[in-house]
Amino acid sequence: MSGNTRHVPVMLQRCLDMLAPALAEPGAVVVDCTLGLGGHSEALLATFPAARLVALDRDPVALRLAGERLAPYGERATLVHAVYDELPEVLDRLGLPRVQGVLFDLGVSSMQLDEAERGFAYAQDAPLDMRMNQTTGISAADVLNTYAPGDLVRILRSYGEEKQAKRIVEAVVRERAKEPFTNSARLVELIRDALPQAAKRTGGNPAKRTFQALRIEVNAELASVERAIPAAVKSLAVGGRIAVLSYQSLEDRIVKQVLAAGAANTAPPGLPVVPERYQPRLQLLTRGAELPTEEEVAENRRAAPARLRGAQRIREDIA
C-alpha cells in the first residue's frame, strides 16, 4: 500500500524519546497496542535494535499490511490479532509477565479513514460501517436503524458531546421509519438539515460529533480504553514506560485519571511515615498533556487534536 511510505506517524520522535530510557537494554520488550499501518512499530524496531516488539490490532487488513512492512525485522516483531484491552491475555500467551514499554495511538488509523468503503469519514459517501474489525459486531447503520431513541441520544451526548443530540435523533427516527440508513451521505445531509444555523457555524463539519459517537459505540472504544490503560500499567516492569496518544477529550480524560491515580500517594492523611504500599507506583513523564508543534501538524494534519501523556513505573504493586 503506497500510504505506508507517505504516512507520517503522529508525534513520532516524542514517543520514541519518551520510551527510549526503558528500551536500551538487550531483550527489552515494547508493545504497540495500536499497530495500524505500522509506522510507530517500524520506528521502534529501527531505533531500538536490541528490543523485541509485540504489536496488536483488531483490524485484519491492518495486520496484513503492517506485517508486510515489518517483515524485514523477522522474529523481532510478533503481530497479534487482538483488541488492546486483551493485552494481559496476549502477554500471558507469549510468556511475557512484564514488558519495558507500551505505546497506544488511540482512535481511528489513517488507513481506516482513507478507505472510503469503511465508512469512518463524513466527507465522502460510503456504507455506514465503522467497524475496526469488519468480520464481527454491529455496524453504524445497525446502531442508527435499531437503537431506541433514548439510547441514541445518550450515545451522541456521551460519546460525541453533541449538544443537539435530541434534535438529530428525532430526525433519524423520522427518516429511518421511511427507509433504513445505509450510507453516510444521507446521515450527513440529515444532520445539516436538523441543526440550527448557529450550531452549523462552529466546530468544523456538523456531522463530526455524531460520527465520532457512532464509531465509539460500534467499537466499544471507551470501555476498551478503560480496561486497557490500567492493564498496560500493570504489565510494566519497574523502570518501564508507557506513552499514550489520544485524539478526543473522553479518551484523554481516562488516560489522565489512570496515570494520575498511579502517581498519587494513597496514604490516609496524617501518617508520620508513608508505608510502602501507599507510595506512588508511577512517575508522570508529562506535565499535563503534551500537544503537537506547528511543524508536527504541518507534517501530518491528523496530529492537530493529539494529546500525549506518559509515565514510568517506579514501584511494584504490593498486594
Q: List domains and CATH numbers for the chain.
A: 3-111+221-313 (3.40.50.150), 115-219 (1.10.150.170)
User: pTM here?
Assistant: 0.85
What residues are designated binding site for S-adenosyl-L-methionine?
Answer: 38-40, 57, 84, 105, 112
With 70 as the cut, is the pLDDT of residue 201 above it? no
What residues are designated binding site?
Answer: 38-40, 57, 84, 105, 112
Could you tell me what percentage of the chain is helix, strand and coil, using 3-state DSSP and rounding each to the nearest 5?
50, 15, 35
With 70 as the cut, is the pLDDT of residue 202 above it? no
Q: Which helix (H) or strand (E) holds 297?
A: helix 294-299
pLDDT at site 200:
64
> Mean of the per-residue pLDDT values for the chain?
89
Q: How far is CA 221 from the centre of its chain?
A: 8
Structure confidence at residue 1 as a pLDDT band (50, 70, 90) = very low
- Name the residue among 279, 246, 254 with its Cα closest to residue 264: 279
